[in-house]
Amino acid sequence: PRLAILLSGRGSNMVALVEAVQRGVLQGVTEVAVVFSNKPDAPGLTTAAALGCPTASLAPEGRKRAEYDAAVVDVLQTYQPDYVVLAGYMRILSPVFVRAFAGRIVNIHPADTHQHQGLHAYEWAFENHLAETKITVHLVDEGLDTGPILAQAPVDLRGADTLAEVERRGLAVEHHLYANTLAQLIRQELPTPSIAERSATQH
Ligand code: GRF
């Protein structure tokens, strides 16, 4: 299978995934078709190019969300991805995007999505003095961090007395969990929850 990896910033999860494709758990089972960004100057794009990945970007430039997302779908489809992998992609996807790749969009969220959705998940864990937080890898549906969970892993936060330390511990878990979960998904070793079924039971 071919991955399109989407990012907006630094791209440490992208690096972990590319390394897993090049010499880790994803080696031989997948390839990175493109690393795409909504920010043409995202540091992660430069890093991806240095790692030998095809890159592409498209700035929203004032376009309405659905219009922009339709244009992104067009760009991505030229790379024929089997999975769209969000790695710090700081945009909420509109239905036109979610439907174009239904059940094939994966996200990583640095908290338990049952407890926390949206931005600033590490700040939330730090400010609430959590002894443990969870990293979540989930399929993307039309809500914000509401899609069916594929895998979670705990992060021990005992003694983590700065936000930087919380993030350091969390990111280390993220990098392993994301590559391992994608490998399981691709090898069909995970029960694959259906997005349609889930919304039918939710509403
Ligand atoms: C990660 O914490 C990820 O879970 C969240 O955004 C952050 C991206 O970091 N969705 P990076 O760009 O992968 O380093």
How far apart CA 106 and CA 137 sit, in angstroms, is 7
- Give residue-wise pLDDT tens across range 184-200: 999 999 987 777 544 44
Task: Report the Cα–Cα distance between both ends of the chain, in Å, rounded.
Answer: 33
Residue 147 Cβ < 6 Å to ligand 1: no
Tell me the DSSP string of 95-163: HHHHHHTTT-EEEEESS-TTT--SS-HHHHHHHTT-SEEEEEEEE--SSSS-SPEEEEEEEE-TT--SH
Identify the residue whose C-alpha is closest to ligand 1 atom 3: 88
- Give residue-wise pLDDT tens across range 121-169: 999 999 999 999 999 999 999 999 999 999 999 999 999 999 999 999 9
Per the annotation, does 93 bind a ligand? yes
Identify the residue whose C-alpha is closest to ligand 1 atom 12: 11
Q: Which DSSP category does 186 fall into?
A: H
Per the annotation, does 11 bind a ligand? yes
Q: By three-state DSSP, how is residue 5 classified? A: strand
Which residues are tagged catalytic? 109
Tell me the DSSP string of 29-92: T-EEEEEEESSTT-HHHHHHHHTT--EEE---TT--HHHHHHHHHHHHHTT--SEEEESS--SP
- Give residue-wise pLDDT tens across range 51-81: 999 999 999 999 999 999 999 999 999 999 9
- With beta carbons less than 8 A apart as the criterion, state whether 132 and 154 touch: yes
Reported ipTM exceeds the 0.85 cut: yes
Separation of CA 71 and ligand 1 centre (Å): 24
Ramachandran sector of residue 35 (left: φ over 0; alpha: ψ -120 to 50; beta: rest) = beta
Residue 88 Cβ < 6 Å to ligand 1: yes
Provide the CB-side half-sphere exposure for 15 (13 A, CA): 12
Question: For the CA atoms of 90, 77, 141, 143, what is the dihedral angle to 10 degrees?
Answer: 40
- Give residue-wise pLDDT tens across range 109-127: 999 999 999 999 999 999 9
Amino acid at 31: E
Per the annotation, does 128 bind a ligand? no
- 59 backbone dihedrals φ, ψ, rounded to 5°: -85, 140
Per the annotation, does 103 bind a ligand? no
Identify the residue whose C-alpha is closest to ligand 1 atom 6: 88
Closest ligand 1 atom, CA of 14? 13
Q: Which residue segments constitute the domains of the chain, with CATH numbers given?
A: 2-110+137-154+174-202 (3.40.50.170)
pLDDT at 14: 98
Identify the residue whose C-alpha is closest to ligand 1 atom 1: 88
Model confidence at 101: pLDDT above 90: yes
Q: What is the mean pLDDT of the chain?
A: 95
Residue 12 Cβ < 6 Å to ligand 1: yes
Closest ligand 1 atom, CA of 9? 12
- The pTM of this model reads 0.95
